[in-house]
Amino acid sequence: MSLSESEIERYQRQLLVDGWDQEKLKRARVLIVGTGGLGGVSATYLAAAGVGHLRLCDRDTVERSNLNRQILFAADDIGRPKAALAAKKISRHNPEIQVEAIADALTESTARDLASGCDLIIDGLDNHSDRLILNKTACARHLPFVYGAVDEWMGQVSFFHPPQTACLACLLPRDISNRGPIPVYGAMPGVIGSLQATLALRYLLTGENPMTNTLLIFRSDTMNFESVSFEKRPECVVCGTS
Ligand SMILES: [Zn+2]
C-alpha cells in the first residue's frame, strides 16, 4: 500500500518523525466508541495522522449542553446525530481516509460487531458500565483498549491488552458512582483524548505499549501527572483466564 503524492504532501511533517510508518497507519482500522469530548478529540487526531479506517459509534444526538466540550459539533448541529456529524467533519479534514458512522446503542452484541476487523479500540465513553462492556469485547477479541476518563479537575488514561496486561475490570471492576452528570470542562477531555490518540498511534506504529499496568492520572488543580501501578487480578472474570 503506497502513498499518493497528496498523502506525501499532507503527512510531510510527521514522515520526518523517527520510526514513523505512514503505510502501516494507512492499513490500520480503529473503533472509537463515543464521539463527544474524549472521542471527538482522539478521532480528530487519528484522522489527521492518517489512520486509514475509523469506525465511529455514537447513538446520541447533539444537545446544547454538549457544546462546552464536544468540539466536533456546532450550535446549528443541535438535534442531529453525532456519529454522522463527526464522520462528516473528520472526512472534510482528511478525505484520504475512510470514516464509518454507526448510531447503534452499545451492548455486548453490538460491541462484538463494532470491533470486528479492527486493530484497536478507543474508549470515548462517558460512563463506566459501557466501558466495561467495551473492555469485555476487547479482551474477548484480544484487541488493545485505550481507556480514558475525566471527572471535574482530574483525568486518567491507560492501555489494556491482556494477557500482556491487566484489563479495565482488574482496575475498576464495578461502576460504584451513583450520581448525576459528571462535572467537566472541555479542556480536560482535550488533554485526555489527546493522550489516548498518542497511545493509539504509538501502538499502531510500533506495536509498543509504554504503560503496562499503569494508570496515568492528570490533576489540573495542581498540574501534576502521576503514574500509578496496578496488578492484574488472577480472579478477574474478564481477563483472568486469558
Ligand atoms: Zn481483568
pTM of the predicted structure, to 2 decimals: 0.97
Q: Say which range, 15-29, 122-136, 171-185, 220-234, has the weakest mean pLDDT.
A: 171-185
d(CA 4, CA 43): 22
Does the pLDDT at position 178 exceed 70? no
CA of 68 relative to ligand 1 center, distance in Å: 34
CA of 121 relative to ligand 1 center, distance in Å: 16
Q: Which candidate, 37, 61, 65, places its Cα nearest to that of 122?
A: 37
Q: What is the pLDDT of residues 107-137, one digit of tens each?
A: 999 999 999 999 999 999 999 999 999 999 9
pLDDT at res. 187? 98
CA of 131 relative to ligand 1 center, distance in Å: 13
Q: Which candidate, 237, 231, 238, places its Cα nearest to that of 136?
A: 238
d(CA 43, CA 32): 7
Which cell numbers hold the place of 204? Answer: 499502531
Q: What is the pLDDT of residues 35-58, one digit of tens each?
A: 999 999 999 999 999 999 999 999
d(CA 222, CA 239): 34
Give the mean pLDDT of the chain: 96
pLDDT at res. 241? 63
> pLDDT class for 174, splitting at 50, 70, 90?
confident
List the 29-33 sheet strands across, edge first.
Answer: 98-102, 53-57, 29-33, 120-123, 145-151, 154-160, 214-219, 224-229
CA of 160 relative to ligand 1 center, distance in Å: 9
pLDDT at res. 240? 86
CA of 115 relative to ligand 1 center, distance in Å: 19
CA of 135 relative to ligand 1 center, distance in Å: 9
The full set of domain ranges for the chain reads 25-229
Q: How many helices (H) and strands (E) does the chain have?
A: 8, 8
CATH of 25-229, one of 2.40.128.130, 3.40.50.720, 3.40.50.300, 1.10.1060.10: 3.40.50.720
